[in-house]
Amino acid sequence: EKAWFRPLCLCASRGYWVNLLKVQSAGVLSRHRHPQPVHGYVIKGSWRYLEHNWKATEGSYVYEAPGETHTLVVDPGVAEMITLFQVNGAMIYVDPDGNTTGYDDVFTRIAKCRRHYESNGLGGGFVDQFIR
């Protein structure tokens, strides 16, 4: 499983972020709950949620309602998946029993991106261009 998170807008002033999610091999991304809405657009490939029987295919718009708990899966045979997400508020990571194991919000995203850019040589300040 190889997932890649690229920020497009880290909107600290309004508490949301916009990112591209790219997954280059089949795998399961961590189960999570949303306290606020999420909008998505599938640019390439496809994916699905373990909890639903629909598939998000190339060109699809996806809406995740507040209160949703789900687990994103990229199936074998999908060489590459790219989806644009606009995530409001937070992603709350949960275990199979629904217990909270962690979270991300726009501030943890900014901090993680800053650390990533520090470690890959671009410099922590590289993240600043995405912050609104």
How many residues of this chain interact with Fe ion, rule: CB under 5 A? 1
Site string for Fe ion, 58-87 (x = CB under 5 A): ------x-----------------------
How many angstroms separate the CA atoms of 129 and 132, rounded?
8
Cα dihedral value 98, 39, 118, 79, nearest 10? 90
Q: Nearer to Fe ion by C-beta: 86 or 117?
A: 86
Q: Cα dihedral sign for 18, 1, 71, 79?
A: positive
Q: How far is the CB of 123 from Fe ion (least distance, A)?
A: 30
Tell me how crowded residue 38 is: count the other CB atoms within 10 A of its CB: 20
Token representation of residue 94: 């949960």
CA R_g for the chain: 15
Q: Nearer to Fe ion by C-beta: 64 or 105?
A: 64
Q: How far is the CB of 87 from Fe ion (least distance, A)?
A: 7
Pick out residues in 17-46 that bind Fe ion (CB under 5 A). none
Q: Nearer to Fe ion by C-beta: 24 or 71?
A: 71
The residues binding Fe ion (CB under 5 A) are 64
